[in-house]
Structure 1
Amino acid sequence: MPTPSPDSFAALARSSPWRWSTLRFTVRWPGDPWTNGAVRAWLRRPDSLRVESLDGALLRAERTPPPTVGILGLGGGTTRQARWASQAVRPPLRPDGLVAERPSDPLLTYDDPMHDSYHWVAMLDPAELADGVDRRDRSWAPALRTGTVTAVEHAGRAAWEAVVVPEDTYEPRCGCCPLLRTRAVDLLEFEGRPEALLEAYPDAFRVRLDVQTGVCVLTQEIGGLRPGKGHDLRIEAVDEPMDDALFTQRRRT
């Protein structure tokens, strides 16, 4: 079992693709008026997703093909189909079993099947909480200033909790739907649209990572316009068998 610390918190955040194969969970978004309510989901890596409302209404059941990547060379351009990172060779692990550095192969895709927005993808693979980018020279830099990391329980499961402050290097998977909303990201995402900026931004965020899976199971804004706004993901099962029929457009029996 890894020991909680700011360094291992970051390593856990980048390890999700190699720590689970299937996940059943519920998730809700407290304080967010733009979401459509709590849901239950079944996800089978690399490509299968089913989402229902909590009363069992089917919202999505599908398998997602890997993306196509364009490659430019001296002789022109070509396309290649990306490979799922979760199905590729696992990167070297630290002694505590966590990932020190993720492969940067452009033909690897880290995105799990998406529901509604990239916030969904980032919850399941929260690497944006580990590795940021110095925008002056595009070099790697830590994404967060992380306080004390504490072992806690979340929905009966072992988790790590920290209060974090995003650095200017924080680079979310998608600027319009980050795990942690910041003024620095909004200035880039909404350039020329000052009306899209908030009057006040959170001072910090409470974040929890599930220890077994690396999934981001909780975010809560501290300060700002809506203290407590974020998400609450509750894992019900990990690595349980999931049949192909689950990912077809019909109700479960």
Structure 2
Amino acid sequence: MAGWDTSNPRDRRTPGDPAEEAAAFRNLCRSSPWRWQSLRFEYLDRPLAVDPDAPAPAPAPDRVRAWLRRPGALRLETADGLVLHSTTGINDSRDVFYLGSTRKTWLLPPQLVTPVYDDQGLVRRRPEAAYGEPGFGNGRFAAALDPVELAGNAPVPLEFPNSNAVELGPVIEVLHEGRPALEAVVVPNPGYRPLDPGAPLCRPGRNLVRIDAGTGVCVASRWLENGQEGYGPEEYGHWLRILAVDEYMLDDLFLAESMNLTDVRRHISWELPAG
């Protein structure tokens, strides 16, 4: 897993208006629920920062491997294959849940409702839906998978530009673990509302964030304000490496007990009797 590489070629995503680039960045942050259904990735609950001239670091011992299938199935393993977490009850009946239902209970998953798209196919305005990603540890894990907290559900009125969740610096295009991503230095505004106030994607002051261009996932964050509140830039943030998108994932991967289902992706040999 590579670190922050200052030798990474960083060119402007488009030669257009900076306001258009900022709008595209925010729209990408809103788009995750409609850009993938399953994700296999590696996750570190801290940023990586290495000398770009140094060899690639060895796999971190605190790295976890994750398999996620929406709407709520998650499996986590250590680098050595020890299972840390596996979702159970993904096929349980929800009749008791709906018996004491509220209006929010009946919201549809975001994949079943249609947002307002921009000309690039990114989400400009998110509809009301049952959002939420499975989490583990702190809320930053789930927030990284759907980083809408960096943009809000819709653009703010032109008359109140400072009501954006974060102020954006120049948006540039980078490669993150071999995948195209958008990177920007952001500063939270008073209207910033993180998913988990105890573990936000952005702390007060300048933060460097990267959003994967294909999935809308926040693949990296790093706080740049050194020496404040006991955190340094090497200590607060996260790093995520996407390994596969929209792979077929069996229920067996997430259940406590195997259902002995056949993985249809693998070749099945048939033995024919002689003669």
Same fold flag (TM > 0.5): yes
Q: SS of 1:100's equivalent? A: strand
Q: 2:30 aligns with which of 1, 10, 14?
A: 14
Q: Give the aligned residue type for 1:50.
A: R
Alignment of 1:90-109 (within 5 A): 90-103=114-127, 105=128, 108-109=129-130
Higher strand share: 1
RMSD, aligned CA? 3.0
Q: Report the alpha carbon displacement of residue 92 of structure 1 after superposing the two structures with TM.
A: 2.3
Partner of 1:246: 253
Measured against aligned partners, the alpha-carbon deviations of 1:134-160 in whole angstroms (never above 9, x if no partner) come to 9xxxxx931111011111000100100
Is the Cα–Cα contact under 8 Å of residues 49 and 61 in structure 1 kept in the other structure?
Answer: yes
Q: 2:221 aligns with which of 211, 219, 224?
A: 219
Question: Is 2:110 the counterpart of 1:86?
Answer: yes
Q: Report the alpha carbon displacement of residue 250 of structure 1 after superposing the two structures with TM.
A: 6.3
Q: 2:179 aligns with which of 137, 147, 157?
A: 157
Is the Cα–Cα contact under 8 Å of residues 152 and 164 in structure 2 kept in the other structure?
Answer: yes
Q: SS of 2:117's equivalent? A: coil
Q: Give the aligned residue type for 2:131.
A: Y
Alignment of 1:1-253 (within 5 A): 5-30=21-46, 37-63=62-88, 79=102, 81-103=105-127, 105=128, 108-131=129-152, 141-182=163-204, 203-225=205-227, 226-228=232-234, 229-249=236-256
Question: Number of residue pairs matched?
Answer: 213
Equivalent-residue separation in structure 1 for 2:153 and 2:247 (angstroms):
33
Q: SS of 1:11's equivalent? A: helix
Q: SS of 1:12's equivalent? A: helix
Partner of 2:273: none
Q: Report the alpha carbon displacement of residue 131 of structure 1 after superposing the two structures with TM.
A: 1.7
Q: Give the aligned residue type for 1:152.
A: V
Gaps of 5+ in 2: 1-12, 15-19, 49-60, 157-161, 259-275
Equivalent-residue separation in structure 2 for 1:212 and 1:17 (angstroms):
12
Q: SS of 2:25's equivalent? A: helix
Q: SS of 2:39's equivalent? A: strand
Measured against aligned partners, the alpha-carbon deviations of 1:175-222 in whole angstroms (never above 9, x if no partner) come to 11211123xxxxxxxxxxxxxxxxxxxx30110000000000000111
Gaps of 5+ in 1: 71-76, 135-139, 183-202
Is the Cα–Cα contact under 8 Å of residues 46 and 87 in structure 1 kept in the other structure?
Answer: no
Q: Report the alpha carbon displacement of residue 85 of structure 1 after superposing the two structures with TM.
A: 3.0
Q: Give the aligned residue type for 1:85.
A: P
Q: SS of 1:164's equivalent? A: strand
Q: Give the aligned residue type for 2:145.
A: L
Answer with 1 or 2: which has the greater Rg: 2
Q: SS of 2:123's equivalent? A: coil
- Sequence identity (%): 42
TM-score of the two chains, using structure 1 as the length reference: 0.75
